[in-house]
Amino acid sequence: MYRNDFENKILKASITPNYFMFYGAEIYQVESYTKEYLARFDGEKFELSFDEYNFELAKKHLEQNSLFGNINILHIKTDKKIPQKELKALISLCQNNEQNIFAYELHEGDQKVAGENAKAFDENFVRFFETNKGEAFNLLKARALKLNLKITEHALFKILQIHNDNLYLSAAELNKIATLYENADEILIDNLVSNLSGISYEAFFNKLITNANIKNDFFNIVNEGSFNEIMFISMLYSSFLRLFKINSFSKLNGRFDIKEAIGYAPPQAIANTLKTQALSFNDEIFLAIFRHINESEEELKKAGNNGDKELFLLHSLLKLQEIIAKYRKY
């Protein structure tokens, strides 16, 4: 099942399955929804994280009688899939004893590999996908409510913008702010939040599409330490897709309504920038852009750990600027 199914069928249900798997492409959602699931149970919790995983220890916890006559809770958090035979054994202990609870939180990057593990859970699994900016904003807003932090929408957008739409980093920033303040606005965020790379993704994207020099900014981003070429390509694709939605909505409906076009209403200054960017493109250029991004992503995946992927990506970005310059209206 997916996030909406999990929220409606599991979190809102009176009876919760006693074993469940959480995985997907978005770290924040995998982690936070695992916590929500576990919060529904009160018992003796045993957690094995990453390299701590040991099948015999996990099995022993579920086989023992709780010291308090309560339930045994097993939480396994790992980035490597567990052998199917071991998973089935742990699940069987839960199927045979409803006092056993098993939450399997898998942060495996290869979703096909993770999907193989999910088969052992039958229907008791949820897969999370990367969020668009509107979904990320709503999840961040929900997090602020749980933290009892009164924060303006502009401030939430500012946090997402500073952290390049990374939901995990943005949520971590919210946690820190909530420990210090009860209220937060955009001015406070400007003063408090530090951009990890020192470079706003939005500023870089604007340079990219206006054919400005991006080389220095690109290498600064690469050198921040957490840079991932495929993730960066995905961010580019999402940014152009957002512009395409705005452009298409305006042409089909004869009016500009950014909320209807992309599902949320950003601050007016950002909305004006997006409008200018979107309407400077036409269908021909969008087609050329998406084709180029898809081809670049395929080449990066084929390269694996071989070759200099950073230089290849820079070359791809410079080629993208050539494509934009060739077709752009103004």
Domains of the chain by residue range: 3-128, 133-192, 201-327
**Is the full-model pTM beyond 0.75?**
no
The Cα–Cα gap between 149 and 157 comes to: 15
Residue 184: strand, helix, or coil: strand
The b/e string for 271-300 (b: 16+ C-beta within 10 A; e otherwise) is beebbebbbbbeeebbebbeebbeebbeeb
Nearest to 171 by CA among 202, 142, 133: 142
Nearest to 107 by CA among 169, 39, 25: 25
DSSP letters along 113-156, please? HHHHHHGGGTT-EEEE----HHHHHHHHHHHHHHTT-EE-HHHH
Max distance between CA atoms of the chain, in angstroms, equals 72
Q: What is the pLDDT of residue 199?
A: 59
CB 178 within 8 A of CB 40: no
Q: What is the pLDDT of residue 238?
A: 79
DSSP letters along 44-59, please? EEEEEEGGG--HHHHH
Token pair listed for 19: 């074993």
The Cα–Cα gap between 214 and 316 comes to: 12
CATH architecture of 201-327: Up-down Bundle (1.20)
Token pair listed for 119: 């088969």
Q: What is the pLDDT along the chain (330 residues), one digit of tens a residue?
A: 888 888 888 888 878 899 999 998 788 899 999 999 999 998 888 999 877 889 999 999 998 875 555 789 999 998 788 899 999 999 999 999 989 999 999 886 666 778 888 888 988 999 988 888 788 899 999 999 999 999 998 899 888 877 767 788 788 888 888 888 899 888 888 777 544 445 567 778 888 999 899 888 888 777 765 567 777 887 788 789 889 999 999 999 988 888 888 876 776 777 888 889 998 899 999 999 999 998 988 888 776 555 578 888 899 999 999 999 887 654
CB 24 within 8 A of CB 129: yes
The Cα–Cα gap between 254 and 252 comes to: 6
Please tell us whether the domain made up of 3-128 is placed in CATH 3.40.50.12160.
Answer: no
Q: What is the pLDDT of residue 56?
A: 93
Token pair listed for 263: 């599902």
Token pair listed for 243: 């512009």
The Cα–Cα gap between 213 and 201 comes to: 15
Residue 106: strand, helix, or coil: strand
